[in-house]
C-alpha cells in the first residue's frame, strides 16, 4: 500500500500473537522500526475479566497505542458459541477501549464485512446500515459499537483476509494444487479479498496520522466471488507447480454452512484512502505477493 506519510517509530501493544493479522503486524512493524509487544492468549486471555486484561497491558513498557488483532474468528462455530464470540468480539474490545481511554492513547480495532446483510449491489459505505445475518457478524458489530464510544478509537472493517502464511482461502487453494483435479467453489458471494499486509499497513497509517473513526480497508480491484478468486490464485501461481484444479461454480445452497454468509459484501474504501493519503493495492497484485510468501 503506498502512503504519503513518513514513519515515526512507536511502541504498540498488539492483542493477538499467532493470528494472521498479528503476524502481518510483526512483519510490517519491524520494517518501520516500531516496537511491538504481542499479547497472545497465553499472556492475555481475552475471556478473562477486565481487571486481568488491564493488568496484562499495564505490565508492558509505556505504549503509544493499542492494536486489537485478536478476535473470535470461527464464523460457523460462532453459531453455537455465541457467549464466547460475544466475550471476545464485544466485551474484550470494550475493556481495551476503557484501558486506552485511561491512558489517553489511540486504539485500533478490526471489524468485518459480515456486519452487513449482503442485499446491496454496490460497495457498502462505512455509514451504511448494518444488519448482520450470523452470530459472528452480530458479535463483531457489537464490538465496533462498544469501541466507537471511545473518541480516540479507529475501527477498520475488512474482508476476506489472507496471505501466503496463515490458514486461509489462499493457502488452502495453493495446497490443493497437485492434490486434486477439480474443485466446486461458491460463486454467489461477492466481495474483495484483502492481503494481511494491506491491513497491517493500514493500521500503521491510521496510527501515524490519527484520525479516529470507522473506515473500510480492503484491497482494490474488481469485485469477485470465491470461485473466481480461486481461479485467479491458480492462474497467478508460479510456473512449474503441479496440476491446476478445474474450478466449477456452485451456489451457496450447494454448500450449506451453519452460518449464513452475505451474498454481497464489497466495501467502499475511498474514505480511508482520502483521509490517510493511501492507495490500496489491487487484490490481483497481492495474490502475487501471497504466492511469493507461500513458495519461500
Ligand X SMILES: NC(=O)c1ccc[n+]([C@@H]2O[C@H](COP(=O)([O-])OP(=O)(O)OC[C@H]3O[C@@H](n4cnc5c(N)ncnc54)[C@H](OP(=O)(O)O)[C@@H]3O)[C@@H](O)[C@H]2O)c1
Give contact residues for ligand X (rule: CB under 6 A): 16-22, 40-41, 44-47, 69-71, 73, 88, 110, 112, 140, 158-161, 166
Closer residue to ligand X (CB): 47 or 244: 47
Closer residue to ligand X (CB): 217 or 237: 217
Q: Which residue lies nearest ligand X, judged by its C-beta?
A: 19
CB of 43 to ligand X, least distance (A): 8
CB of 20 to ligand X, least distance (A): 3
Q: Are 114 and 265 in contact (CB under 8 A)?
A: yes
Closer residue to ligand X (CB): 70 or 107: 70
CB of 171 to ligand X, least distance (A): 12
The 3-state secondary structure of the chain reads CEECCCCCCCEEEEECCCCHHHHHHHHHHHHHCCEEEEECCCCCCCCCCHHHHHHHHHCCCCCCEEEECCCCCCCCHHHCCHHHHHHHHHHHHHHHHHHHHHHCCCEEEEEEHHHCCCCCCCCECCCCCCCCCCHHHHHHHHHHHHHCCCCCEEEEEECCEECCCCCCHHHHHHHHCCCCCEEEEECCCEECCEEHHHHHHHHHHHHHCCCCEEEECCCECCCEEHHHHHHHHHHCCCCCCCCCCEEEEECHHHCCCCCCCCCECCECCHHHHHHHCEECCEHHHHHHHHHHHHHC
CB of 159 to ligand X, least distance (A): 5
Set 72, 114, 124, 136: catalytic member: 136
Closer residue to ligand X (CB): 114 or 291: 114
Closer residue to ligand X (CB): 1 or 110: 110
CB of 44 to ligand X, least distance (A): 6
Write the CB contacts of 205 (distance below 8 Å, at least 6 apart in sequence). 1, 3, 5, 276, 277, 278
Closer residue to ligand X (CB): 4 or 149: 149
CB of 192 to ligand X, least distance (A): 11
Q: Are 78 and 139 in contact (CB under 8 A)?
A: yes
Q: Is 215 a catalytic residue?
A: no
Q: Are 263 and 226 in contact (CB under 8 A)?
A: no
CA 134 from chain centre, in angstroms, equals: 17
* Residues annotated as part of the active site: 136
Amino acid at each position: 500500500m503506498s502512503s504519503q506519510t513518513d514513519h515515526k517509530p512507536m511502541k504498540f501493544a498488539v492483542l493477538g500473537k499467532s493470528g494472521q493479522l498479528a503476524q502481518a503486524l510483526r512483519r510490517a512493524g519491524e520494517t518501520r522500526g516500531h516496537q511491538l509487544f504481542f499479547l497472545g492468549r497465553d499472556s492475555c486471555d481475552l475471556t478473562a475479566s477486565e481487571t486481568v486484561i488491564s493488568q496484562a497491558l499495564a505490565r508492558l513498557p509505556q505504549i503509544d497505542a493499542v492494536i486489537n488483532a485478536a478476535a473470535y474468528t470461527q464464523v460457523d462455530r460462532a453459531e453455537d458459541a455465541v457467549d464466547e464470540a460475544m466475550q471476545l468480539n464485544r466485551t474484550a474490545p470494550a475493556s481495551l477501549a476503557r484501558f486506552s481511554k485511561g491512558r489517553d492513547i489511540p486504539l485500533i480495532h478490526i471489524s468485518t464485512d459480515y456486519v452487513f446483510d449482503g442485499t446491496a449491489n454496490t460497495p457498502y459505505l462505512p455509514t451504511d446500515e448494518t444488519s448482520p445475518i450470523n452470530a459472528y457478524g452480530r458479535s463483531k458489530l457489537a464490538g465496533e459499537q462498544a469501541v466507537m464510544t471511545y473518541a480516540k478509537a479507529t475501527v477498520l472493517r475488512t474482508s476476506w483476509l489472507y496471505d501466503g502464511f496463515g490458514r486461509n482461502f489462499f493457502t488452502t487453494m495453493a495446497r490443493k494444487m497437485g492434490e486434486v483435479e477439480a474443485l466446486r467453489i461458491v460463486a454467489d458471494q461477492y466481495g474483495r479479498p484483502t492481503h494481511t499486509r494491506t491491513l497491517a499497513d493500514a493500521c500503521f497509517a491510521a496510527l501515524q496520522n490519527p484520525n479516529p473513526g470507522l473506515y473500510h480497508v480492503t484491497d482494490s480491484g474488481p469485485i469477485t466471488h470465491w470461485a473466481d478468486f480461486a481461479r485467479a490464485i491458480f492462474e497467478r501461481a508460479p510456473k512449474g507447480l503441479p496440476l491446476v484444479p478445474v474450478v466449477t461454480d456452485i451456489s451457496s445452497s450447494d454448500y450449506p454452512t451453519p452460518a449464513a454468509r452475505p451474498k454481497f459484501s464489497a466495501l467502499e474504501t475511498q474514505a480511508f484512502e482520502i483521509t490517510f493519503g493511501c492507495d490500496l493495492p489491487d487484490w490481483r497484485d497481492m495474490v502475487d505477493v501471497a504466492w511469493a510468501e507461500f513458495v519461500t
